[in-house]
């Protein structure tokens, strides 16, 4: 998911949450009512830090790249915060006589200053939540995080229930001596991080969220007041009802869409970090100014003064923060790919509907997911429960595993025995293409899961379907565990009688082998014959799974392909670029390399910074781009990094305007099949050759269906 999507509700609440944290540390209602202040600062304001954790889970978790970036940035921020408050800690004597175990507690759990605990908690909690998501699906991971939260609960608001018990009380005292508090990155943060991740994929409706928030908020207030009355609290950050409050609150906030000022996130972070320093500053300035009674003794005045000082200091530092941030080119400054995660998830569900009961999809993500970008594809498909994957090489399988793919990853190509360590380390299932190759793998004496490829007529890879003894021999080899068999249909793209007969013959050959092996007592495991067109044209009820690749992208291989069924698949990919220059050329002028295009009239030409290095073939004769929703033909040769469009008939056109080469623009649309035909190829080749320098920008992650 693109972390810079337009989530106005989330971004605005960041600022509110920062000032709620200020309230926790200044008790604004204490002068007027101790009970009212408790409800505000120890109950209502307790949503602030969980909200920050849920924001991280919502935007970061599920992507290794985003998680690594977040951990790096947060570690740097933590280091800067430690330095910022070091003079205060030294002056106050907080570091005097600190032992190594105490220093460990301060750095890993407490943050050395009372509000900085959030940063090590964010680091530890995000690392733990990410690890859980790598090993488990979201709901089992959330169950483990909830169990950790319950453990922490007994060291926080419910400490009075366990403190008097001989063994349990001693255990919690020992735990607290190490952690300081149980509201930390181990017990507190993971459940909220994972709830945020869950809400990115499944959000309840507005009415249900509103009712749920109202009920859970009442329960939170009642719970806190009861615990206060019974004097059970050691601390008061963790309540049984708090996760429910946060789930429904964040659901409502993430449903409020629209643009928010870009500075909102940085401003809230600065307020959070700086407000303790502003508390010190307000107290230091109040007495010389003769305002001690208003700015310090009056709790509300103190709160408002600290908020104002924190806001002013944060606003003053925003420009400096912007200059410190690394300068990068906009991902949409030249040319880019837009990937619709909602369309990919829709296609997964639509293709799954074609399978028999119990059937599953094996998502083929060769060549960086057919150009979509494997990392984003894994995140979107995993959200639908995908756990079967296929790739061309072991290196591709390694990347899928690093991107968070769980379950089976089948390597369709032959992996050299010298790379068997790669198969083992990343738990990849290797295809066996011959008995000799299977023996080489077995001789390496490393346990592997394998699937047997049968050649039923395509004559590319696999053991001949007629060589039953060789196929059977693979099952007997030590160190290899056969988990399935498959074949590839050579002519499933066609519905002609000749090709249909051959496809059915291939299928019959395959299942005849499977039945013969069963008669010999072999467990043949998972059986699959269909790739995209096999599933669309020749559904076979005997298969355990199907292997769609190009169909997941929502396109056909060729524009003229007809299929027996097409379950309203939606294109996932759009290719766009930005015009860099517009000029008017008189009639009769040659344009571009070899002067291959000659203007027949006064012509307006737009230079676009995209070319064959980005995947628009040099041979793409007659190709067009959409400008203002209108077709603009390519003028002259396509270069490595540039091409020219004739935009004479496209209305007002200016540098910076967007050109669409694949996708929709207003009433106009260019399909991947159409551009592939102009390039003299199929969409499979076109998409897989889209240049690596094109940023992959995932949009529309939520279905809205």
Number of other CB atoms surrounding residue 597 within 10 Å = 21
pLDDT at 88: 87
- DSSP, collapsed to helix, strand or coil, labels residue 580 as coil
Q: How far apart are CA 196 and CA 66, in angstroms?
A: 15
- DSSP, collapsed to helix, strand or coil, labels residue 42 as helix
User: Is the whole model's pTM more than 0.85, yes or no?
Assistant: no
Convert the pLDDT of each residue in 542-581 to its tens digit.
899 999 999 999 999 998 888 999 999 999 999 999 999 9
342-553: in CATH 3.20.20.10? yes
E strands present in 54-123: none
Number of other CB atoms surrounding residue 221 within 10 Å = 17
Whether 557 and 548 have beta carbons less than 8 Å apart is answered as no
What's CA 89's distance to the chain center, in Å? 39
Convert the pLDDT of each residue in 126-152 to its tens digit.
999 999 988 888 889 999 999 999 999
Q: Hey, what are 554's tokens?
A: 């929502």
Burial class (CB within 10 angstroms; exposed 0-12, middle 13-18, buried 19+) of 613 = middle
Q: Hey, what are 302's tokens?
A: 């103190």
DSSP letter, residue 46: G
Burial class (CB within 10 angstroms; exposed 0-12, middle 13-18, buried 19+) of 196 = buried
pLDDT at 43: 94
Q: Which fold has domain 573-670?
A: Lyase, Ornithine Decarboxylase; Chain A, domain 1 (2.40.37)
Convert the pLDDT of each residue in 664-690 to its tens digit.
999 999 999 999 999 999 999 999 999
Task: Tell me if domain 342-553 and domain 573-670 are identical in fold.
Answer: no
Q: How far apart are CA 378 and CA 397, in angstroms?
A: 12
Whether 409 and 383 have beta carbons less than 8 Å apart is answered as no
| Cα distances (Å, whole numbers) of residue 535 to 68, 460, 492, 512 | 38, 21, 9, 20
pLDDT at 111: 87
pLDDT at 327: 67
pLDDT at 5: 54
Q: Hey, what are 529's tokens?
A: 């014959």
Active site positions, annotated:
366, 593
Q: How far apart are CA 251 and CA 197, in angstroms?
A: 11
| Cα distances (Å, whole numbers) of residue 353 to 364, 530, 565, 668, 680 | 17, 15, 11, 30, 33
E strands present in 500-629: 526-528, 545-546, 573-578, 581-585, 590-591, 597-598, 603-608, 624-627
**Sequence ranges of the domains in the chain:** 1-27+261-327, 43-258, 342-553, 573-670
Instruction: Show the low-confidence residues of the chain (pLDDT under 70).
Output: 1-5, 324-327, 700-705
pLDDT at 501: 95
Q: Hey, what are 579's tokens?
A: 């015009």
pLDDT at 397: 97
């Amino acid at each position: 998911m693109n972390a810079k999507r337009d989530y106005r509700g989330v971004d605005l609440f960041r600022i509110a949450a920062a000032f709620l944290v200020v309230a926790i540390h200044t008790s604004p209602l204490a002068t007027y009512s101790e009970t009212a202040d408790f409800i505000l600062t120890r109950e209502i304001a307790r949503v602030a830090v969980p909200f920050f954790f849920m924001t991280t889970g919502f935007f970061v978790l599920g992507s290794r790249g985003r998680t690594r970036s977040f951990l790096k940035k947060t570690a740097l921020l933590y280091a800067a915060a430690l330095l910022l408050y070091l003079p205060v800690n030294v002056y106050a004597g907080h570091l005097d006589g600190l032992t190594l175990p105490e220093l460990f507690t301060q750095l890993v759990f407490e943050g050395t200053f009372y509000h900085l605990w959030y940063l090590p908690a964010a680091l530890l909690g995000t690392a733990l939540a990410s690890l859980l998501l790598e090993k488990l699906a979201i709901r089992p991971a959330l169950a483990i995080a909830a169990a950790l939260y319950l453990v922490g609960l007994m060291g926080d608001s419910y400490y009075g229930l366990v403190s008097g018990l001989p063994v349990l009380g001693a255990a919690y005292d020992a735990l607290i001596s190490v952690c300081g508090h149980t509201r930390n990155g181990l017990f507190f943060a993971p459940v909220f991080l994972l709830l945020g991740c869950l809400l990115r994929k499944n959000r309840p409706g507005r009415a249900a969220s509103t009712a749920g928030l109202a009920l859970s908020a009442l329960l939170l207030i009642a719970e806190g007041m009861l615990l206060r009355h019974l004097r059970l609290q050691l601390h008061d950050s963790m309540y049984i009802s708090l996760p429910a409050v946060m789930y429904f609150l964040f659901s409502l906030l993430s449903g409020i869409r629209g643009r928010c000022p870009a500075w909102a996130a940085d401003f809230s972070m600065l307020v959070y970090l700086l407000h303790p320093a502003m508390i010190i500053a307000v107290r230091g300035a109040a007495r010389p100014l003769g305002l001690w009674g208003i700015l310090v003794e009056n709790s509300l005045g103190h709160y408002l003064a600290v908020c104002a000082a924190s806001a002013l200091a944060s606003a003053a530092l925003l420009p400096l923060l912007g200059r410190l941030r690394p300068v990068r080119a906009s991902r949409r400054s030249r040319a880019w790919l837009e990937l619709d995660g909602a369309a990919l998830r829709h296609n997964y569900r639509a293709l799954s509907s074609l399978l028999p009961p119990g059937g599953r999809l094996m998502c083929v993500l060769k060549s960086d997911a057919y150009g979509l970008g494997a990392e984003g594809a894994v995140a979107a498909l995993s959200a639908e429960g995908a756990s079967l994957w296929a790739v061309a090489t072991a290196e591709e399988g390694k990347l899928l595993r690093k991107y968070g793919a769980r379950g089976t990853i089948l390597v369709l190509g032959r992996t050299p025995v010298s790379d068997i360590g790669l198969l083992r380390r990343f738990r990849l299932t290797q295809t066996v293409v011959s008995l000799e190759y299977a023996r080489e793998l077995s001789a390496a004496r490393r346990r592997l899961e394998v699937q047997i490829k049968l050649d039923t007529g395509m004559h590319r890879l696999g053991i001949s379907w007629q060589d039953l003894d060789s196929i059977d021999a693979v099952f007997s080899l030590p160190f290899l565990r056969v988990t399935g068999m498959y074949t590839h249909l050579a002519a499933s793209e066609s519905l002609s009688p000749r090709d249909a007969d051959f496809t059915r013959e291939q299928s019959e050959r395959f299942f005849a082998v499977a039945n013969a092996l069963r008669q010999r007592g072999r467990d043949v495991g998972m059986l699959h014959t269909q790739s995209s067109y096999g599933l669309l044209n020749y559904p076979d009820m005997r298969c355990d799974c199907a292997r769609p690749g190009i169909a997941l992208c929502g396109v056909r291989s060729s524009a003229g392909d007809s299929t027996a069924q097409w379950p309203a698949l939606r294109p996932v990919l759009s290719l766009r670029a930005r015009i860099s220059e517009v000029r008017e050329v008189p009639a009769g002028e040659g344009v571009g390399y070899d002067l291959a295009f000659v203007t027949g009239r006064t012509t307006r030409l737009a230079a676009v910074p995209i070319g064959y290095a980005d995947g628009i073939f040099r041979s793409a004769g007659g190709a067009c781009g959409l400008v203002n929703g209108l077709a603009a033909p390519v003028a002259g040769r396509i270069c490595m990094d540039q091409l020219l469009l004739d935009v004479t008939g496209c209305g007002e056109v200016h540098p910076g305007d967007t050109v669409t080469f694949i996708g929709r623009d207003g009433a106009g649309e260019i399909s991947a099949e159409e551009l592939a035909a102009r390039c003299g190829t199929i969409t499979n080749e076109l998409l897989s050759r889209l240049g690596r320098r094109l940023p992959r920008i995932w949009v529309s992650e939520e279905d809205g269906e």
